[in-house]
Amino acid sequence: MIVSHISKVEGVRIETDQIKGVNKKVAVSPKEGWDGYVMRVFELDQGGYSPEHTHSWPHIMFFLEGNGVLHLDGKDYPVEKGSFAFVPGGKIHTVKNTGTDKMSFICIVPEEGDV
């Protein structure tokens, strides 16, 4: 069991040649007793983006703040606070912050998807 606030969760900064301005926070995982799943919060700086990628597992996204684009299966979808998406396994996708402020979203994956 856990009751907390995301501001108390230590994040991991992710910067590579394919990832820009991303901070990842693991909020709930098997460590807290949620076997098989992980809830992460991603924060993207202005202009930040995730890599274009695919994997076998599905995931759920819920956007908390900011404005951006979810590129999914060849189409661009505008996203903002309150937007959500189900991304099936095997679909190419990426997220980009196109707004003027930070963008953040919850991403829930099966345990093997927390890489």
Q: Tell me: the pLDDT tens digits for 82-102?
A: 999 999 999 999 999 999 999
Question: Residue 107's domain is classified under what CATH number?
Answer: 2.60.120.10
Rounded Cα–Cα distance for residues 61 and 107 (Å): 5
Six token digits for residue 4:
């907390």
For residue 23, give its domain range: 10-113
pLDDT at 80: 99
- Cα torsion at 90, 96, 78, 100 (round to 10°)? 170
CB 115 within 8 A of CB 29: no
Q: Tell me: the pLDDT tens digits for 20-36?
A: 999 999 999 999 999 99
Total number of domains constituting the chain = 1
Q: Tell me: the pLDDT tens digits for 4-20?
A: 999 999 999 999 999 99
Rounded Cα–Cα distance for residues 20 and 42 (Å): 12
Which pTM value belongs to this model? 0.94
Asked if the structure places residue 36 within a domain, the reply is yes
